[in-house]
Every structure is written in structure tokens, then in C-alpha cells.
Structure 1
Amino acid sequence: MTTKKVSMVTQILIAVILGVVFGVSLPSVAGQVKLLGDVFLRLMQMAIPLLILGQIIQAVGSIDSKELTSLGWRTILVFGVSSFFAACWGIVMAVIFNPGNGIKIAEIKDTGLKSQTISFADTLLDFFPKNIFDSLTQGSIIQIIVFALFFGVALNKYLQTHPKSQLFKGIIDFNEVIILIIGYVMKAAPIGIFALIASTISNLGLQIILPLLKYLIVYGGGTLLFLGIWVLLVSVYCKVNPIRLVKNMKNMSIMALATTSSAITLPVAMKESRTQLGLSERITNLVLPLGMSLNSNGSAMHMSITVMTIAQMYQQGFDFQQMFYLAVTATFVSLANAVVPGAGLVSLAVIVPQMGLPLDSIAVFAGVEWFVGMLRTILNVNSDVYSAIIVGKSVNEINYNVFNSNSEEPIK
């Protein structure tokens, strides 16, 4: 008699449930296990910059020179349009449902964060690395991507004149080793996620969550509706079954919700894009790593709906011009958004002062950052994959036999 191995997704779901129960029932003890969660996150993050660097170099280096410019522009266009509309959608949801109504300003405490007024020129300049090793050390994803694009284009050109070079094979081997490292670390995912959720729940308390319940409901509903729009758009354009599309993406969606990190979910998303959705390796390796920084739909929506909520808390109305400026600003700030848990408050610390709102207003949102992070991450991850499917369809690189297959390969 053989026993069926419990899949990683099932293990993570169990860890989430146990973490919530443990955090509520034994808060004093649950707060002490945070170290395990922090160790898990550090182990994951140590390889992510190298994963992104290597995958983009490999993807760009392998593209036919005639398609390099065309494929890149298609990808960036889908990213830019989707992130901007996500920001606009957040504003629309806030205007219709007014989630800031009823939140008492007296309950807001100062976080100790200082105002950050960053000009557009400074933001644009920060996209470009002055030292790639410094960028890798700091984990500056957008700078790593810029360097990887330059390296990939140069490698592509070099291989045209040196077809027998072993450099490209070495990069492929390097990427496979990095993926193996992430696979080893992921074996500890259930323990790490249990510790993170237990410690987070132990520090929250209903007295912090309840005043923002309406905000969470509006934000959650907006995220669900926007994902529905994405599913409808992809289904119509790519001529696929929407139910099967959702089903084929369930593992990466659960991983995004559980970890609240696009970076940690990236290996799962890349694997399932090939094995469940039928995307080619070329599309997967280029679009998904790029999407982590250039297609943060969830981050753009989070910033816009939260800023609108803060404005409503202070009874400060925004006209159409201000809301348009907010949507554009949220789109650009989302490009530099960190891909690890807890990055939402950092982004708010940048955009809130630029909209003329007090920085200490974001303190109340720290209490629900984990729940907000779940919504933000699933939209970030899924929109990256939806974008990849659209790009893949535009260049006929979707294997519909794989997409429509009934086989489900578990996460290893």
C-alpha cells in the first residue's frame, strides 16, 4: 500500500490555517516564532536577484535579433496599459464606495517615517544602476533588470558573431543551479509561512482591523473584479476556457496569497506557465521576471485606493486632474515597488506626501498590511501571467494541448 505525498500547496494551506489559529489562541507564544519566518524569507531573497538577472539575460540572449525589439515593445505596452488601468480602477472603487468614511483620525498614530518627496527625474534616474554589484547587494530589482537587458542584448549580438561560444551554455547552467537552490529553500515554506502568519496575527487584534473592514472589503472586491476583467479579456483574445484558465493558475495564486511575495512566487509561476498554461520557455523567461517590476497591477491599485481612502478620512476631495495625477504617479511608483512582503507601506510613504496628505496617516494601514499584501500580490502575480499569455498569443507561442490537458503536475 502506497501513501500519496501531500503537495506543497496543501502543506502551505495547512500552515496558513494553523498559523491563524496559533496566533489567535496563543499570541504571546506566536510572537516568538517570527524568527523562523524571517529566516525563510531571507533564504528566498538571497537567490531572487540572481534568478532575475540570469533568467532575463538568458531570455533576451536567446531571442532572434529580428524579434528582439518587437517582443520587448509588446511586453512593455501590455505592462504599462494594465498597470495604469489598475490604478484607475482603484480610484473608481474608492469614489463609488467611499471606504474612508467613518474612520476616526484620532485613532491614527505616527509611524516615525519621514516624508519622502521624490521628483519624477529622481525616480527615473534611480532606474539605472551605477554599479551592478551594489544593485545586487541592495536588491534593487529595477536596476538589475536594466543591467540584465543590456547584458542580454550585448550577448545576443556577441553570439551572432561567435556561435560556438560556451558563454550562453554557462548562463543556462547557472540559472538551473539557482532554481535548484530555490527548490531546496521551498521545502521549508510551510514552516516559514506558519511562523510569519502566527506572529502577524498575534500582533494585530480586532480593534485595529475592524475600523478598516470596509476598506478591506472594497479593496478585496476591486481586486476580484479586476481579476475577472483580466480573465474575460484573456479568454476572449486567446480563445480559451475561462474556468480552465483559473484552474490552471490556482497553485501560483495560492502561493501568492500565502507568501504575499511576488519574488517568492516567481519560480512557481514560471514553472506552471510552461507546464499548465502551455507558454513557451522564451515567453516565460522574459515576461514574468520583467513583470515583477514593470507590471505591478496590484501595487498600482493598492496605492491609488489607499491614497483615496486617506483623502476621504481627512475629508479632502480630489478633482479629476488630481485623480489622474494620482493614477499616473501610482503607475510609476509601482515600477520601483519592492517584491517582498511589507513593501506596501514603503510605497505609501513615497506617494502620500506627493498628494498633499499627512504621512502619519499611513500608520493605521500597518495593522492590515498582511491582508492587503495578499490581495496586492495575487493581482501582481496573476496579471504578470495574463500579460505573458497575451504576449504569447501575439507571437503564436501557446501550446493549447498543454493548456487543455487534464494532467496536473504538483509543485515540488
Structure 2
Amino acid sequence: MKKIRNVSMTNQVMIATVFGVVVGIIFQEKVESLKVIGDLFLRLIQMSVVVLIMGAVIEAVGSLAAKELGKIGLKVFIWFMGSTILAAVIGVLFGLLIQPGKGIKVNGFEAENIKASTQSLQEIIVDFVPKNIIEAMAQANMIQVIIFSLLFGLALSLIKDKDKNAILLDVVSAFNNVILKMVTLIMKVAPIGIFCLIAPVIGTTGIGVLITLMKFLLTLGISAFLFLIVWLLITALYCKVSVKKLAQNMWRMSVVAFTTTSSAITLPIQIEDGRDKLGISDRISKLVMPLGMTLNSNGLAMFLSLAIVTFAQFYNIQMGIGELIKAVLLSTLACLGTVVVPGGGLVALATVMPMLGLPTESIALLAGIDWFSGMFRTVLNVDADTTVALIIAADENELDYDVFNM
């Protein structure tokens, strides 16, 4: 028992993942009932996500002077857009190179109940702002929650500077500490929860669909791996740190992201490791990471651009330079305000497919492997958000190199 307790949480999660795959293959549909426990674990984490994000953004913005927020905000936006566009471009390039859409044959597939967005660009922009913050919180509309939190934090910052009164900011900070502690306690049962999530997925889906679409998954995995290497090198050079140490310090959050397929669930671990392993100040991490979770979806951008190229190959549709550029831009824009829990990728795909003249019913081809492609997407999302926070911290002289090199 003592030896088990000495195994790190990261290793426990990895063991649980492998064990879940093996049990799912052996027992197949018999383990479907375990999904209840896995769903309970997800809900325990998800129930605090909205208030965690809201509190983190309010505290981060409220702690800043107004002019600091404008300067940092511009830097964050530039790095977010740069990383997302790079991910989408790599997805297109590897789609053209490996051609995963050639030879995919699935007979009798039916479309899932996924509807593309019918909103105009104007309606999408207006929908960024909540009519009712309570309703936005109840619906877990992250982009609306963040817009409210930014304005609330800005107002709090102005009042703090003018009246020299930080009582409410202290209350928000204390509340955030309680939420983080609660999530930390829940994460102690993460190996059990993750095992009970993965085993039923493998058991009910089977490895047949994986074999059929293995080429797409393999292409996505190679693209994600290359992006991470390039992006970590860029970050290490910019921040003047060891790329090997950077990868080591981000290992735990990457494993949690890979196994849960949820940026929201990984966020508490991300903030904790950002402070304790990477040396990022709380002020920067609590501002950049929640924003990145909603606005910077590198993994989704890569998934969408690769899926577009794959389906074009599947239907023998030739894509010129103009269509490929459009695919990159649409994949980048579709990431704004995307759902941060498993399944959001299919909804985003249903939104961009009609804009390029591709049939939405073909989305069903990827629905069966959405969980597995979500593993790669989430790792890219989480790691890119963290590295941007590291870059901003280095720029603002709020990166503790002693903590990073411990």
C-alpha cells in the first residue's frame, strides 16, 4: 500500500489509461456500466469549472492596473493567434503529405445529431456578450463568462486604484483558493475516474473503428508531435530556458490533458504546475491560462484543418491554394469560444464543413474516434496555453527561473 502511495499521480493516471484500454478490449460491452463512475468523476470536476474560470480571470485582471492589462492583452492575443495559425497550417501540410483521406472506406455510415451553426458573423459577435450572466454560467458559455469576468475585473481594478480598497479582491482570491483546493481533492481519485472513462469507450466502440481510421489518427498524432517540438523550441529560445526541462515540467499536465480530453478539467493542474514547476507568477497564469482555454485552441485548429483536407480527399475534391488558405482561416476562427469539454470538436467541424462545400453527414466518420482525436487536441491546447503564459511571464519579468530549474 505504501508503495502505491509513492507512485506519482502522473504514473497512476498512465497506468489507469493502459489498464482501461486492456480491460475494454477483453470485456467489451460488459464494462459499459463503469461509465457511470467515469461520468461522476467528470461532473465533480466540471461543477467547479465556471466559477474557477470566473474567479481566476477576475482576480488576475483586478490585480492589474488598467494600462498593464492593455499591454499584456495585446501580447497574449498576438501569441494566441500565431500559435493557432501555425497549428492549422501544419494540419493542412501533413494532410496533403500523408493523404489520410485516400482509401478510407466505411459503408453505411449515418450522420450524428450534430447541427452546423446557422448564425451570421454579426450574430456570433453579438453572442459573445451575455444578456444574463447567471444564464451564461448555467449554460457554461465560457466566452460570455470570460467577457463578464474581464469587465468585472477591470472595474475592480479601477476601484482598487482609485479608492485604495482591495477588500473584494481579497475575498475573490480567498474564494479561488478554496475552489482550487476542492478540485485538488477531487483529482486524488483521477486514476479511478479515468479508468472508468476509457474502458467503456474501448469496450463499446471497439478497436475496429480505430483500425479503419488509424491513418487519420496517425496523421493527427504526427502533426501534433511536430507542432509541440517546434513550439517548445520557440518558447525555450524566447524564454532562454532548457527545452528538455520545459518538457519535463509540463509532463504532468500533458498526461492529464491526454487522458481526460478536457482543457477545463486540466486547468487546475495547469495553474498549479505553472506556479510550482514552471515559475509563472499567479498574476500571469490566472489571466492567460483561462483565456487560452477558450480563445486559443491549437489542437482544435489542427484537427479541423486536417479533417477538411481528409474529407476533400475522401470525396476526390481538389483544393487549390485559395481553398487551403480559407481552410486555415476558418479553422482558426472556429476556435473562438469553443466548448472546452469532450465533444466540442464535432460541433466546430459541423460549422466549417458547409463553408467549404463539404457534406456535413461525413462528420459521422470521425464521430467514432472523437475521444481519441480529442486526446491529441487537448494536449496541444493545454501545452500551447501554458507556453504562452510562460512567454508573457518572461516578458513581464514574472518568471521565477529558480523554480523552473529546480
For the criterion TM > 0.5, the same-fold answer is yes
Q: Which residue of 2 aligns with 1:206?
A: 207
What secondary structure, in the 3-state scheme, does the structure 2 residue paired with 1:20 have? Answer: helix
Q: Which residue of 1 aligns with 2:396?
A: 395
Counterparts of 1:168 and 1:390 in 2: how far apart (Å)?
A: 26
Residue 202 of structure 1 deviates from its aligned partner by 0.7
Q: Which residue of 2 aligns with 1:242?
A: 243
Q: Which residue of 2 aligns with 1:167?
A: 168
Q: Which residue of 2 aligns with 1:251?
A: 252
Q: Which residue of 1 aligns with 2:329?
A: 328
Residue 231 of structure 1 deviates from its aligned partner by 1.1
Between 345-354 and 355-364, the greater mean CA deviation after superposition = 345-354
Counterparts of 1:165 and 1:223 in 2: how far apart (Å)?
A: 43
Q: Which residue of 2 aligns with 1:296?
A: 297
Q: Deviations over 1:265-290 (max 9, x none)?
A: 11111111111111111111111111
Matched residues, number: 405
Residue 165 of structure 1 deviates from its aligned partner by 4.3
Amino acid at match of 2:186: V
What secondary structure, in the 3-state scheme, does the structure 2 residue paired with 1:33 have? Answer: helix
Between 74-83 and 8-17, the greater mean CA deviation after superposition = 8-17
Structure 1 runs of 4+ aligned residues shifted over 4 Å read 1-4
Amino acid at match of 1:74: K
Between 200-209 and 109-118, the greater mean CA deviation after superposition = 109-118
Residue 335 of structure 1 deviates from its aligned partner by 1.2
Q: Deviations over 1:132-154 (max 9, x none)?
A: 11110000111111111101111
Q: Deviations over 1:223-278 (max 9, x none)?
A: 00000001110111111111111011111111111111101111111111111111
Q: Which residue of 2 aligns with 1:346?
A: 347
Counterparts of 2:149 and 2:100 in 1: how far apart (Å)?
A: 41
Counterparts of 1:188 and 1:206 in 2: how far apart (Å)?
A: 27
Counterparts of 2:392 and 2:182 in 1: how far apart (Å)?
A: 29
Counterparts of 2:392 and 2:144 in 1: how far apart (Å)?
A: 23
When residues 115 and 175 of structure 1 are mapped into structure 2, their CA distance, relative to the original with a 3 A threshold, is: closer
Amino acid at match of 1:357: L
Matches within 5 A, 1:219-234: 219-234=220-235
Amino acid at match of 1:13: M
Amino acid at match of 1:6: V
Counterparts of 1:94 and 1:321 in 2: how far apart (Å)?
A: 16
Q: Deviations over 1:120-175 (max 9, x none)?
A: 22222221111111110000111111111101111000111221341111111111
Q: Is the 8 A contact 1:117 1:353 kept in 2?
A: no
Q: Is the 8 A contact 1:86 1:301 kept in 2?
A: yes
Counterparts of 1:21 and 1:206 in 2: how far apart (Å)?
A: 11
Counterparts of 1:66 and 1:191 in 2: how far apart (Å)?
A: 46
What secondary structure, in the 3-state scheme, does the structure 2 residue paired with 1:357 have? Answer: coil
When residues 360 and 68 of structure 1 are mapped into structure 2, their CA distance, relative to the original with a 3 A threshold, is: same
Q: Which runs of 5+ in 1 are unaligned?
A: 406-412
- Determine whether 1:318 maps to 2:310: no
Q: Is the 8 A contact 2:239 2:391 kept in 1?
A: yes
Q: Which residue of 2 aligns with 1:74?
A: 75
Counterparts of 2:401 and 2:172 in 1: how far apart (Å)?
A: 29
Q: Is the 8 A contact 2:29 2:204 kept in 1?
A: no
Counterparts of 1:186 and 1:104 in 2: how far apart (Å)?
A: 40
Query: TM-score with structure 1 length normalisation?
Result: 0.95
Q: Deviations over 1:51-72 (max 9, x none)?
A: 0000000000001333121011
Counterparts of 2:146 and 2:282 in 1: how far apart (Å)?
A: 18
What secondary structure, in the 3-state scheme, does the structure 2 residue paired with 1:365 have? Answer: helix
Query: TM-score with structure 2 length normalisation?
Result: 0.96
What secondary structure, in the 3-state scheme, does the structure 1 residue paired with 2:119 have? Answer: coil
What secondary structure, in the 3-state scheme, does the structure 1 residue paired with 2:333 have? Answer: helix
Residue 360 of structure 1 deviates from its aligned partner by 1.1
Q: Which residue of 1 aligns with 2:198?
A: 197
Counterparts of 2:252 and 2:21 in 1: how far apart (Å)?
A: 20
Residue 10 of structure 1 deviates from its aligned partner by 2.1
Q: Which residue of 1 aligns with 2:405?
A: 404
Residue 115 of structure 1 deviates from its aligned partner by 4.0
Q: Is the 8 A contact 1:117 1:354 kept in 2?
A: no
Q: Is the 8 A contact 1:105 1:313 kept in 2?
A: no
When residues 183 and 309 of structure 1 are mapped into structure 2, their CA distance, relative to the original with a 3 A threshold, is: same
Counterparts of 1:98 and 1:289 in 2: how far apart (Å)?
A: 35
Amino acid at match of 2:78: L
Residue 301 of structure 1 deviates from its aligned partner by 0.7
Q: Is the 8 A contact 1:342 1:370 kept in 2?
A: yes
Q: Deviations over 1:17-36 (max 9, x none)?
A: 22111111111221111111
Counterparts of 1:203 and 1:184 in 2: how far apart (Å)?
A: 30
Q: CA RMSD in A?
A: 1.5
Amino acid at match of 2:42: L
Q: Which residue of 1 aligns with 2:15?
A: 14
Amino acid at match of 1:317: Q
Q: Is the 8 A contact 2:23 2:199 kept in 1?
A: yes
Percent sequence identity over aligned pairs: 42
Q: Which residue of 2 aligns with 1:272?
A: 273
Amino acid at match of 1:143: Q
Q: Which residue of 1 aligns with 2:370?
A: 369
Counterparts of 1:97 and 1:389 in 2: how far apart (Å)?
A: 33
What secondary structure, in the 3-state scheme, does the structure 2 residue paired with 1:251 have? Answer: helix
Q: Which residue of 1 aligns with 2:107?
A: 106
Amino acid at match of 1:76: F
Between 359-368 and 160-169, the greater mean CA deviation after superposition = 160-169
Between 15-24 and 54-63, the greater mean CA deviation after superposition = 15-24
Q: Deviations over 1:376-397 (max 9, x none)?
A: 0000000001111111111121
What secondary structure, in the 3-state scheme, does the structure 2 residue paired with 1:129 have? Answer: coil
Between 48-57 and 347-356, the greater mean CA deviation after superposition = 347-356
Amino acid at match of 2:196: A
Amino acid at match of 1:401: D
Residue 176 of structure 1 deviates from its aligned partner by 1.0
Amino acid at match of 1:90: G
Residue 2 of structure 1 deviates from its aligned partner by 6.8
Counterparts of 1:112 and 1:254 in 2: how far apart (Å)?
A: 31
Counterparts of 1:107 and 1:313 in 2: how far apart (Å)?
A: 15
Residue 117 of structure 1 deviates from its aligned partner by 3.2
Q: Deviations over 1:302-334 (max 9, x none)?
A: 111111111110111222122212211111111
Counterparts of 2:170 and 2:388 in 1: how far apart (Å)?
A: 28
